[in-house]
Amino acid sequence: MQTFISFLRGVNMAGHNKIKMTDLSVLYKDLGFDDAETFIQSGNVIFTCSSGMTVRNISLKIETAIHQKYKYDVSVVIRTYEEIKKLIPANPFLEEENFDPSKMAVIFLFENPTEAQLQKVKDVDYPPDKFKVIGSEIFIYCPNGFGRTKLYTNFFENKMKVKGTGRNWKTIITLIDLARKK
């Protein structure tokens, strides 16, 4: 039995492409993920799976079910609990002076960027905002907040030609705690 956390991209739990979190939980349970648990209104689902399916196949199964039921084309990024808990020691900004977790986020990419994609952001510098790409995650720290930063999901998607979805650091820590209990 393995624990997973999925992040839906392209679904707004309150407006465009709306899915209620209770309905999302039921959809996951209908797919055989009996212990599916949602967290906040942004498409985060913690669940376990014992079928031996690959992460990509689980993503496709969820994306297909959402399309069939709601007619929405969404993308689902999935990380195992083991992968997501490694974000804490990997976070390059935890040692920042006066670190504020509310000014930190991670963009979960659907796949590791290529060297050519990484080169497109190699010289990007928008102080005081900082970012670091580690594997298939982009860690972002904006000490003045996210209100005016250029460094967020759309920027990286356009510049690097990647697809991803972002979550703030507090949400990630809570998801790790919830997943630990599965």
Q: Assign 48 a pLDDT band (cuts: 50, 70, 90).
A: very high
- In CATH, the architecture of 2-83 is 2-Layer Sandwich (3.30)
The structural domains of the chain, with segments of one domain joined by +, span 2-83, 86-169
Q: How confident is the model at residue 13, as a pLDDT?
A: 56
| Domains 2-83 and 86-169 alike in fold | yes
Q: CB–CB of 140/107 below 8 Å?
A: yes
Q: Assign 50 a pLDDT band (cuts: 50, 70, 90).
A: confident
Q: How confident is the model at residue 159, as a pLDDT?
A: 97
Mean pLDDT to the nearest integer, 122-149: 96
Q: Looking at the domain that runs over 86-169, which CATH code has it been given?
A: 3.30.70
Q: How confident is the model at residue 76, as a pLDDT?
A: 95
The contacts of residue 157 (CB under 8 Å, 6+ apart) are 163, 164
Strands 75-80 and 130-134: unpaired
Strands 104-109 and 75-80: unpaired
Reported as a single tens digit per residue, the pLDDT across 6-44 is 999 876 655 667 888 899 999 999 999 979 999 987 889
Q: Hunting for tokens 């209908």 — which residue is that?
A: 30
Tokens in use for 85? 């808990």
As a whole number of angstroms, the distance between CA 113 and CA 7 comes to: 18
Q: How confident is the model at residue 53, as a pLDDT?
A: 87
Reported as a single tens digit per residue, the pLDDT across 58-113 is 999 999 999 999 999 899 999 999 999 999 999 999 999 899 999 999 999 999 99
